[in-house]
Amino acid sequence: MTERFARSMKEDVDMSVHVIVLPGGGYAVHAAHEAEPIVGWLEGLGLAASVFRYPLNTRHPAPLTALQTEIRRLRDKGADTIGVVGFSAGGHLAGLAALTPSADERTSVQFAVLGYAITSMETETYRPARHILLGEDASPVLRRSTSLDALVTPSSPPFFLWHTAEDPYVPPEHTYRLATALAADNVPHTVHVFSHGPHSLGLAHEAGEASTWTRFAASWIDEQTGPRTHHRA
C-alpha cells in the first residue's frame, strides 16, 4: 500500500463510527486471524476499527467490564456509533456487550456482527469456554443470565449472524437460538448459515460459499451506518 493511498483511506474513514473487533479463542487465547485482518477489512469499508484484546482465563464479568470501559473510552474520543464484530467466544462477548442492560448509556452498542458465536451457556457444547468464564460448577441461574438469547429485549440493537452447518465446535444451534429470540422480540437481524466450512474461519478466504459473508456483512453494515466509499472487498 502506498503512503498516498493509505492517507486517502484515513481521510475517508468516518470517525463518528467505530467498530470493535473481538477475536475468538475460547476465552483462553486471542485468535490472530480474527483480529488485525478483520480490522483491515473494516478499514477497507471506510470504517474506523480496532482490536480489543479482552482479559483471558478470568471469570465473568471481567471481560465484559473491560470491554465496556473500552467503549466508554471510544465515546470520549468522539465515536457516536459503536459496532462490535466478534467470533466464537469473542462473539459471545460482543453479544453480551450489545444485550446486557446498563445504566450507563455510554456503554451502549448500536450494531453487532457475530461469526460462529457461542451464544448459549446452557448447552453442553464447547464446555471449555464456559468453564473458564463461569466455572465448572456454574449455577443454572448464572448460565442462563450469560446466555444471549435470555438477554434479548425489543430494544436490542440489530444483529448480523453467520455460521456454518458443519461447525463441529460451536454448532449452528447457537446462532439459531439467538435468532429465534431476536425474532420473538422483533429485533432487526440477518442470519446466514452456510452449508460447508469448519469453525474459526475468520475472513473465510477460499472457503467456498462461506467466503461471501464479508460481502453480505458489508452491505448490512452500510444499512446500519450509512454508505461510504469502499476501498476494497
Asked if the model's pLDDT at residue 82 lies above 60, the reply is yes
| 82 contacts 22 by C-beta, under 8 angstroms | no
For 23-55, what is each residue's pLDDT tens digit?
Answer: 999 999 999 999 999 999 999 999 999 999 999
| 92 contacts 117 by C-beta, under 8 angstroms | yes
Domains of the chain: 12-225 (3.40.50.1820)
Q: What is the pTM assigned to this prediction?
A: 0.93
How do beta strands 189-194 and 81-87 pair? unpaired
Task: Please state the length of the chain.
Answer: 233
Which residues, in sequence order, are CB contacts of 226 under 8 Å at separation 6+? 14
Q: How far apart are the first and last CA of the chain?
A: 15
For 205-220, what is each residue's pLDDT tens digit?
Answer: 999 999 999 999 999 9
Which residues, in sequence order, are CB contacts of 51 under 8 Å at separation 6+? 20, 21, 22, 23, 35, 36, 38, 39
